[in-house]
Amino acid sequence: MPSESEASRPFLTWQRVIDWAQEHYRCRTFSKDEKIPVRPGLLYLVQRGSVRLVSISQVSATASSTASRFTRRRESNPNVWTPEEAFLGFVGAGQPFEIVAQSPFTIQSYAHVDKTSVIWMYWHDLDNWPHFRREVMDAFRYQHQRKLLWLSTLGQRRTIDRLLGFITLLVEEHGEPCDNGYCLPWTLTHAQIGSAIGSTRVTVTRLMGKLRSRGLIRTQGDNLICLPASDAPKTE
């Protein structure tokens, strides 16, 4: 029975893997923003929905003072100190993920949309499907290349350039065709965008307005971010 995410799945052996996961109780469905427990040494596959990877920083240049170890979240309760959290990207349906390296950051995963289903397995379970193992490895190679591009834009000096580069890469990876362009299928808050590009919610809101007024991005429906089909900026 084909699922709605079938079109985007890169794996030929996918249905057999899903069947195996069902038989072995290695599949679980999460609701929006629910934390997905992950352990090093295990391989995870997104069957449906989308997974959001985030990291929590454990280091700070001013570690001697407890208060300054944490970044004040200005947009919420000013008396609450929270560790800084960074958005690291989505893992879409049909894609694998794993979380191994940790120090000095803790990487966590959340269901980004409701009814996100995740399959898990040990690496040696892949011995049953050598061809599938190769597909998983190729998917990680691809993800690695994409992260090099993310690093490229995060090295840019001006925040507005990082913001546009970040949005461009995200829509390239996950965008779906819409009127006159490509649209991110899920919402992302300005605070989440800020956490990815080393900026704040307030600055992101301001710069998103600038990009919109220059015709470099659009928003659609439920605040979904779109890139116009043509690269040429519209003059207004």
Under the binding rule (CB under 8 A), the answer on residue 163 touching a second copy is yes
Does residue number 57 form part of the binding site for a second copy (CB under 8 A)?
A: yes
C-alpha to C-alpha distance for 157 and 148, rounded to whole angstroms? 17
152 is an interface residue for a second copy by CB under 8 A: yes
Among 148, 177, 221, 236, binds a second copy (CB under 8 A): 148
Of the pair 1, 61, the CB lying nearest a second copy is at 61
Out of 198, 223, 229, 230, the only residue in the binding site for a second copy (CB under 8 A) is 198
101 binds a second copy (CB under 8 A): yes
Question: Is the bond preceding 228 in cis, omega lying within 30 degrees of 0?
Answer: no
Rounded CA gap, 210 and 217, in Å?
Answer: 9
Among the listed residues 21, 113, 188, 216, the single contact to a second copy using CB under 8 A:
216
* Contact window for a second copy (CB under 8 A) among 19-27, 29-37, 134-142, 222-230: 134-142
Query: Residue numbers of the site for a second copy (CB under 8 A)?
Result: 53, 55, 57, 59-64, 71, 84, 86-89, 98-101, 103-105, 107, 137, 140-158, 160-165, 168-169, 172, 194-200, 210-211, 214, 216, 233, 235
